[in-house]
Structure 1
Amino acid sequence: MIKSAAEICPECGVRVSEPASDAGDSDKDRTTAAIFALILGGLGAHKFYLGETGWGVLYLVFCWTFIPMLLGLVEGIIYLTKSDEEFQRKYVN
Structure 2
Amino acid sequence: MSHVPTFIAAQLISGKAVFKIETIDDTYVTVRGIPEQTENHCELLYHLVVDMTFEVQSVIDPITGKPLQIRFGINSAAVLVGVIGKKMPRHVALALGNF
TM-score normalised by length of structure 2:
0.28
Higher helix share: 1
Higher strand share: 2
Who wins on radius of gyration, i.e. which is larger? Answer: 1
Which structure has more relative contact order (CA 8 Å, sep 6+)? It is 1
